[in-house]
Homo-oligomer: A and B are copies of this chain.
Amino acid sequence: MELGLVGLGKMGGNMRERIRRAGHTVIGYDRNPDLGDVHSLKELVDSLTGPRVVWVMVPAGAATQSTIDELAELLSPGDIVVDGGNSRWTDDQKHAEELAAKGIGFVDCGVSGGVWGLENGYALMYGGDAANVARVQPIFDALKPEGDFGAVHAGKVGAGHFAKMVHNGIEYAMMQAYAEGWELLEKADAVTDVREVFRSWQEGTVIRSWLLDLAVNALDEDEHLDKLRGYAADSGEGRWTVEAAIDHAVPLPAITASLFARFASRQDDSPQMKMIAALRNQFGGHAVESK
């Protein structure tokens, strides 16, 4: 089938390639004219034979909003917009309604796979009406990994991004689990080769996983991670996961601890620990470290 693809960055560019390998026609547009097949959203829309499917793969927030606003003007009733970016699930219903007012369908799709997706396939979680999802299905089939798994119609509009957000929340806590264990092993006198312990865990253990394989790769490149700073960004989904948990009164201690560890990793000095130091000094005369 024919697909319009907006956003040809690290993710979108590889996705275009994977969809084309499956035999579909992809017309891509990017703000960067070096990357696109066409030079404007209007040209993209005009190039597609209706009823059209346009997949938006741009940064969440303002960029996605303005792209959808513009597509709402350009597309025709019966067309479909897929938001494959990392949008907050709470934006999906709003986007669906905005497009529905013009007779345009909407599907939200969370995409996992990173730099490995081109070769291994992308895991996809999508939400929307069954009829709209069915229209996009050939593209989902092209993107997903081979095998029985890797793609799911998770529910109504918003369900795709919600499921992807929870995926990322789980990812935070799994990474934190390995990271905590690694630091503790590195501290233990008896354990003389932590990297080999991690390597051995790749088979037969309860904790074997793809993330564990990646940890071994990382340790093979830099055995004690000496070249790195202990600094971790967060891209939003972890925060939204905790916010969703608060909305639903679900306790999320491990995922939240993982998010907070990232926040703390980005502080040069911890204001709250200054207060702890100040209080210890006040009541106990405990020495403080001055700057």
- Please report A residues at the B interface, Cβ cutoff 8 Å: 10, 89, 112-117, 120-125, 127, 144-145, 147-159, 162-163, 166-193, 196-197, 199-212, 214-215, 217-219, 222, 225-233, 239, 241-246, 248-267, 269-286, 288-291
Residues of chain B within 8 A (CB-CB) of A190 are: 89, 127, 154-159, 162
What are 25 residue pairs bridging A and B, where the CB atoms are less than 8 Å apart in the complex?
A: A115-B284, A123-B200, A127-B190, A149-B200, A149-B201, A150-B200, A151-B200, A152-B200, A155-B191, A158-B190, A169-B180, A178-B275, A179-B274, A183-B272, A188-B248, A209-B209, A214-B283, A215-B282, A225-B274, A225-B277, A228-B291, A230-B270, A230-B274, A250-B272, A264-B264
Q: How far is the CB of A65 from chain B (nearest CB, A)?
A: 19
Chain B minimum-CB-distance residue to A122: B204
Contact of A191 among B159, B175, B186 (CB under 8 A): B159
Residue among B112, B180, B272, B277 making CB contact with A205, cutoff 8 Å: B112
Contact A271 B182 (CB under 8 A): yes
- Set B113, B149, B172, B228: member contacting A277, Cβ < 8 A: B228
Q: Chain B's nearest CB lies how many Å from the CB of A160? A: 9
CB distance from A203 to the nearest CB of B (A): 4
User: Which residues in B have their C-beta under 8 angstroms from that of A203?
Assistant: 121, 123, 144-145, 147-150
Apart from A120-B204, A219-B278: 12 A-B pairs, beta carbons within 8 A: A121-B203, A167-B207, A176-B254, A177-B177, A179-B274, A179-B276, A207-B209, A207-B210, A218-B282, A230-B269, A246-B259, A249-B266
With A and B bound together, what is the CA distance between A260 and B276 in angstroms? 13
Closest residue to A251 on the B side, CB-wise? B260
